[in-house]
């Protein structure tokens, strides 16, 4: 039976429909409230606002549940691979063997980038942060593939565009990386699987027989799967809003990369390693840093802790912590920063401040340690997050366009000056 909510204000009441999701989540639909009452709702940071209905990812932050298209993240991270998960997110169902081969084939076939894009990459200073480079170059792709500007592509055209972008991202990332290091670039492979190709274009050098370690491929698949989608977070909401104006997929994804860059979002994985390094340099005194994080007069926050929606353990953090131990053991790496991370986590979990606010380690707390073990520079950690998140952004963009979502355009409560007359200060 459909329910309604009632809002009473100034002696008048308004009936508001209540919608219910497939996991019994309920929401009051206020979309017609302004027309009926002149009222808007206000919710800074959208802390309690649903911007869409979506069938892609289910997340229960109180219980620590995360599922893509109904499949638990734990099962996908253990048994699936990144490209299969990308297909699942974008197309809604797990692929048949035939569908998977066609999807992978189309991604691999389009993994080259135009020579002119290489020239653009060469124009960046070597010190440029790779997230800025990535965002700029993805946006620039519209110039080379103007068909992306068509807001109503056929299914074939949309699939080609989507698969092409998934294919090109590893090449853009690795070429930017190689150029920043002053090394020559390596052409993407047409034979290898997605993760093996990524590792080869990143790490192989001309004339060298680079062997990819299966432990590393496995860890990379796990990490990318864990990052692949996370419902309406800051970058995904950005992708949807930009795409809602019918700007090209490249523009929307470029904006998503920019949103992910910040240390409160994807940039936290870089910030965590920098924080752990700083604690190590400072003698390893974790208590001192916990005290700083609790001090309201100190801007320092414990990076990799806390989450807008998880008020319980982030399920991705559990998987990553285990994977971190396995990868470091398999690669025979002893990273002192891991001991600091584990010590800090234990102290925080037993601390009243963190307990009272339900602050737990999030996905970024341990991911940087694995990325470092895989041989990636700290500035690339957020780029890896973007590589993993790409299929999620695309799936959300595709769902938004297929639902014919209206342009994202919030309202505001104005608090500035009321009308006043202009007085001339200098002649025009
Ligand atoms: N260290 C110390 N205190 C914290 C932290 C932290 N990491 N996170 C939250 N708090 C405190 C905060 O000061 C506030 O305390 P009080 O109620 O006394 O004012 C309370 O906890 C609630 O925090 P909030 O800032 O209102 O929560 P939010 O939902 O707006 O912010 C967050 C969520 C992720 C931005 C925040 O927890 C944070 O800054 N964490 C560190 C950065 C980080 O690790 N980000 C990665 C998130 S996971 C990857 C992703 O999906 O983006």
What does each C-alpha distance from 76 to 27, 199, 382 come to in angstroms?
29, 21, 22
User: In this predicted structure, which of 52-61, 185-194, 363-372 has the lowest mean pLDDT?
Assistant: 363-372
Position 68 scores a pLDDT of 98
Residue 74, judged by CB atoms within 10 A of its CB (0-12, 13-18, 19+), counts as: middle
Counting from 1 in the atom list of ligand 1, the atom nearest the Cα of 306 is: 37
Same domain, residue pair 171 and 308: no
**pLDDT greater than 80 at residue 406:** yes
Residue 11: per-residue pLDDT: 93
Q: What is the pLDDT of residue 425?
A: 85
- In this structure, the residue with its CA closest to atom 9 of ligand 1 is 306
Q: How far is the CA of 286 from the centre of ligand 1 (A)?
A: 19
Answer whether 311 contacts ligand 1 (Cβ < 6 A): no
Cα 171 to the center of its chain, rounded Å: 19
β-bridge mates for residue 9, sequence order: 12
Residue to substitute in 229, 304, 306 for testing ligand 1 pocket (most ligand atoms within 8 angstroms of CB): 306
Residue nearest ligand 1's atom 24 by CA = 308
Q: How far is the CA of 305 from the centre of ligand 1 (A)?
A: 7
pLDDT for position 2: 80
State residue 84's pLDDT score.
98
Give, using CA atoms, the residue closest to atom 44 of ligand 1: 304
Q: How far is the CA of 307 from the centre of ligand 1 (A)?
A: 6
Residue 206 — pLDDT band, cuts 50, 70, 90?
confident
In CATH, what number is assigned to the domain containing residue 358?
A: 1.10.230.10
The answer, yes or no, to whether any atom of ligand 1 lies below 6 A from the CB of 306, is yes
Q: Are residues 275 and 258 in the same domain?
A: no
- CA distances 384 to 57, 96, 194, 221, 387, Å, are 20, 27, 13, 11, 5
Is the residue at 426 inside a domain? no
Which residue's C-alpha comes closest to atom 21 of ligand 1? 357
What is the three-class DSSP state of 219? Answer: helix
169, 193: one domain = yes
Residues 76 and 131 grouped into a single domain: yes
Tell me phi and psi for residue 154, to 5 degrees.
-70, 170
What region does 284 belong to: left with phi over 0, alpha with psi -120 to 50, or beta? left
Asked if residue 414 is part of any domain, the answer here is no
CB 280 within 8 A of CB 337: yes
Range of the domain at 146: 72-264+383-401
59 in any annotated domain: no
pLDDT digits (tens, 9 = 90+) for 64-79: 999 999 999 999 999 9
307 is catalytic: yes
| 356 and 389 together in one domain | no
**Is the same domain home to 161 and 206?**
yes
**Res. 426 pLDDT band, cuts 50 70 90:** confident
**Within this chain, do residues 99 and 42 fall inside the same structural domain, yes or no?**
no
Alpha-carbon separation of residue 81 from 78, 111, 285 (angstroms) = 9, 18, 39
The pLDDT of residue 82? 98
295 as an active site residue: the answer is no
Give, using CA atoms, the residue closest to atom 35 of ligand 1: 264
- For a pLDDT cut of 70, what percent of the chain falls above it? 100
Name the residue with the closest Cα to ligand 1, atom 12: 357
Residues 244, 363, single domain; the answer is no
* Positive or negative torsion for Cα 354, 355, 358, 359: positive
pLDDT at 210: 86
Residue positions counted in the chain? 428
Quick: pLDDT tens for 19-58. 999 999 999 999 999 999 999 999 999 999 999 999 999 9
233 lines ligand 1 (CB under 6 A): yes
Q: How far apart, in whole angstroms, are the C-alpha atoms of residue 152 and residue 134?
A: 26
Verify whether ligand 1 is closer than 6 Å to residue 307 (CB atom): yes
If you average pLDDT over every residue of the chain, what do you get? 95
**308 alpha carbon to ligand 1 midpoint, in Å?**
7
Is 71 strand, coil or helix? strand
Q: Give the pLDDT score at 259.
A: 98
Contact between 118 and 112 (Cβ < 8 Å)? no
Q: What is the b/e burial string over 380-410, where b = at least 16 CB atoms within 10 angstroms of the residue's CB?
A: bbbbbbbbbbbbbbbbbbbbbbeeebeebee
Is residue 61 in a domain?
Answer: no
Is 152 a member of any domain? Answer: yes
pLDDT band, very low/low/confident/very high, at 313 (cuts 50, 70, 90) = confident
Nearest residue to 399 (alpha-carbon basis) of 154, 91, 180: 91
314-334 average pLDDT score: 90
Q: How confident is the model at residue 358 (pLDDT cuts 50, 70, 90)?
A: very high
Supply φ then ψ for residue 58, to 5 degrees: -110, 135
CA atoms of 417 and 230, how far apart (whole Å):
40
Let me know whether 206 and 91 are in one domain.
yes
Q: What are phi and psi of 4, to 5 degrees?
A: -135, 155
Angle at 275 between CA 269 and CA 277, to 5 degrees: 105
pLDDT at 138: 98
Answer whether residue 60 is part of any domain: no
Looking at residue 16, which CATH number applies to its domain? 2.20.28.60
Cβ atoms of 323 and 223 closer than 8 Å: yes
Instruction: Give the pLDDT confidence score for residue 228 in this predicted structure.
Output: 98
Q: Percentage of the chain surpassing pLDDT 90?
A: 85
Nearest CA to ligand 1 atom 39: 264
Query: ∠206-207-209 over CA atoms, to 5°?
Result: 105
Ligand 1 atom with the shortest distance to the CA of 308: 29
Q: Does any ligand 1 atom lie closer than 6 A to the CB of residue 253?
A: no
Query: Number of folded domains in the chain?
Result: 3
Give the integer Cα–Cα distance in Å for 389 and 382: 10
Ligand 1 midpoint to CA 75 (Å) = 28
> Residues 134-139: contacts with CB within 8 Å, 24+ apart?
134/172, 134/173, 134/176, 134/257, 134/383, 134/386, 135/254, 135/255, 135/257, 135/258, 135/261, 136/254, 137/172, 137/176, 138/165, 138/169, 138/172, 138/250, 138/253, 138/254, 138/257, 139/250, 139/251, 139/254
Q: How far is the CA of 285 from the centre of ligand 1 (A)?
A: 22
Q: How far apart are CA 9 and CA 37, in angstroms?
A: 9
The predicted structure's pLDDT at residue 1: 62
Sequence-distant (6+) residues with CB within 8 A of 416 are: none
- Ligand 1 centroid–CA 306 distance in Å is 5
Most confident of 168-172, 270-274, 300-304, 327-331: 168-172
Closest ligand 1 atom to 272 CA:
44
Whole-model pTM?
Answer: 0.93
- Say if residue 26 is in the same domain as residue 152: no
What is the arithmetic mean of pLDDT over 83-105?
98
pLDDT on residue 311: 87
227, 229, 307, 351: the catalytic one is: 307
Q: Ligand 1: distance of its center to the CA of 411 in Å?
A: 26
Q: Which residue lies with its CA nearest to atom 34 of ligand 1?
A: 307
> Quick one: 251 and 171 in the same domain?
yes
CATH code, domain carrying 132: 1.10.580.10
Q: Are residues 224 and 353 both part of a single domain?
A: no
d(CA 2, CA 236): 30
């Amino acid at each position: 039976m459909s329910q309604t909510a009632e809002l009473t204000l100034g002696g008048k009441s308004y009936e508001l429909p209540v919608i219910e999701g497939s996991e019994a989540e309920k929401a009051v639909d206020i979309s017609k409230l302004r027309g009926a009452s002149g009222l808007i709702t206000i919710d800074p940071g959208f802390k309690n606002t649903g911007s869409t209905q979506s069938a892609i990812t289910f997340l229960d932050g109180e219980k620590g549940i995360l599922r893509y298209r109904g499949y638990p993240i734990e099962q996908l991270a253990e048994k699936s691979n990144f490209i299969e998960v990308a297909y699942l997110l974008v197309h809604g169902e797990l692929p048949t063997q035939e569908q998977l081969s066609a999807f992978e084939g189309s991604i691999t076939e389009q993994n080259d980038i135009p020579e002119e894009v290489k020239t653009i990459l060469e124009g960046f200073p070597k010190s440029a942060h790779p997230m800025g480079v990535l965002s700029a170059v993805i946006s620039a792709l519209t110039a080379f593939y103007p068909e992306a500007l068509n807001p109503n592509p056929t299914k074939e055209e949309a699939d080609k565009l989507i698969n092409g972008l998934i294919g090109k991202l590893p090449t853009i990332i690795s070429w930017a990386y190689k150029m920043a290091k002053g090394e020559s670039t390596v052409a993407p492979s047409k034979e290898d699987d997605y993760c093996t190709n990524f590792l080869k274009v990143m790490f192989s050098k001309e004339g060298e027989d680079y062997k990819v370690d299966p432990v590393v491929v496995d860890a990379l698949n796990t990490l990318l799967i864990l990052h692949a989608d996370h419902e309406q977070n800051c970058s995904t909401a950005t992708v949807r809003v930009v795409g809602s104006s019918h700007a090209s997929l490249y523009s929307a994804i470029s904006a998503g990369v920019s949103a992910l860059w910040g240390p409160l979002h994807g940039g936290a994985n870089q910030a965590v390693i920098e924080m752990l390094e700083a604690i190590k340099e400072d003698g390893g005194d974790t208590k001192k840093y916990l005290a700083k994080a609790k001090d309201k007069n100190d801007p320092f926050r414990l990076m990799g802790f806390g989450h807008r929606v998880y008020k319980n353990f982030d399920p991705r953090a559990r998987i990553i912590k285990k994977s971190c131990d396995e990868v470091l053991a398999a690669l025979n790496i002893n990273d002192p920063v891991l001991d600091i991370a584990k010590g800090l986590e234990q102290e925080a979990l037993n601390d009243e401040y963190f307990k009272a606010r339900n602050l737990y380690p999030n996905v970024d707390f341990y991911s940087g340690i694995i990325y470092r073990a895989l041989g990636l520079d700290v500035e690339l950690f957020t780029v890896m997050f973007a590589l993993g998140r790409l299929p999620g952004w695309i799936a959300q963009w595709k769902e938004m366009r297929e639902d014919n979502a209206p342009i994202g355009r919030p309202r505001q409560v104005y608090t500035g000056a009321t009308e006043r007359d202009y007085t001339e200060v200098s002649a025009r």
